[in-house]
Amino acid sequence: MPKIVDRELRRATIARNAIEIFAKKGFQQTTVQDIADASKIGKGTLYHYFHTKMDILEEVSNEMFRNIKELIDASLFQLENPAENLPAIIETALTKEMEYLFIIYVELWINNYRSTKYSDFLEKLKDYIADFRKLLARKIENRKNSGGFKEDIDPNALAYYLVSSMDGLLIHYMLDKSQFNIRYVLSEVFRFLQTSISREA
């Protein structure tokens, strides 16, 4: 009898090993040989676990979703004051591993702009982000209703801005780390936002 392997586990492992390569070289520029090398297997072996190169990207994106979801879930419960804990959440994301995922995420996002071929990957992600945004908006709304926030704030607009500005910050930070201390900027910004949002401010 041949070696017994857990195909799903193997797929996930190969995908996990591929993340760094995809991040560092990009999907197009990464060769199937690169991916095989990353898992120290033969090129042909890859095709026992994935139909096409695209299929590998799909698994990588699933792996990414799992990580992101984990991150979001882990941080949601501490999201009492939305502005309060976002820095902590971002902080959590500042690992090498998450950095790779973030690059892939931006690349997928761009590819999605270019071709509907990638849209399947992103639907899930869009949903996650939308959910996160809605949750954030609801928190803002609640606090606004309880008198904690100013009257003239549009919770949806603010939530949209907060979420997307985090991506902007991450991009600027990761792609040019020399320019600034992101942790300091984040704490400053959120201290500022908090006081300006709060009615007492």
Interface characters, 3-42, with its own copies (x: CB under 8 A): --------------------xxxx-xx-------------
50-109 residues near DNA, rule: CB under 7 A: 51-54
In whole angstroms, the minimum distance from the beta carbon of 38 to DNA comes to: 12
- Number of residues forming the site for its own copies (CB under 8 A): 53
Confirm or reject binding of residue 43 to DNA (CB under 7 A): yes
Considering only 48, 66, 134, 177, the residue that binds DNA (CB under 7 A) is 48
Give the residue carrying structure tokens 């201390």: 181
Q: Which does 160 bind (CB under 5 to 8 A by kind): DNA, its own copies, none?
A: its own copies
Confirm or reject binding of residue 130 to its own copies (CB under 8 A): yes
Contacts of residue 114, Cβ cutoff 8 Å, sequence gap at least 6: none
Q: Which does 131 bind (CB under 5 to 8 A by kind): its own copies, DNA, none?
A: none
SS (H, E, C) the chain: CCCCCCHHHHHHHHHHHHHHHHHHHCCCCCCHHHHHHHCCCCHHHHHHHCCCHHHHHHHHHHHHHHHHHHHHHHHHCCCCCHHHHHHHHHHHHCCHHHHHHHHHHHHHHHHHHHCHHHHHHHHHHHHHHHHHHHHHHHHHHHHHHCCCECCCCCHHHHHHHHHHHHHHHHHHHHHCHHHCCHHHHHHHHHHHHHHHHECCC
Confirm or reject binding of residue 189 to its own copies (CB under 8 A): yes
Please report, as ranges, the residues that interact with its own copies according to CB under 8 A. Answer: 2, 23-26, 28-29, 44, 103, 106-107, 109-114, 126, 130, 152-154, 156-158, 160-161, 163-169, 171-176, 179-180, 184-185, 188-189, 191-193, 195-197, 201
Please report, as ranges, the residues that interact with DNA according to CB under 7 A. Answer: 1-5, 10, 29-33, 36, 41-45, 47-49, 51-54
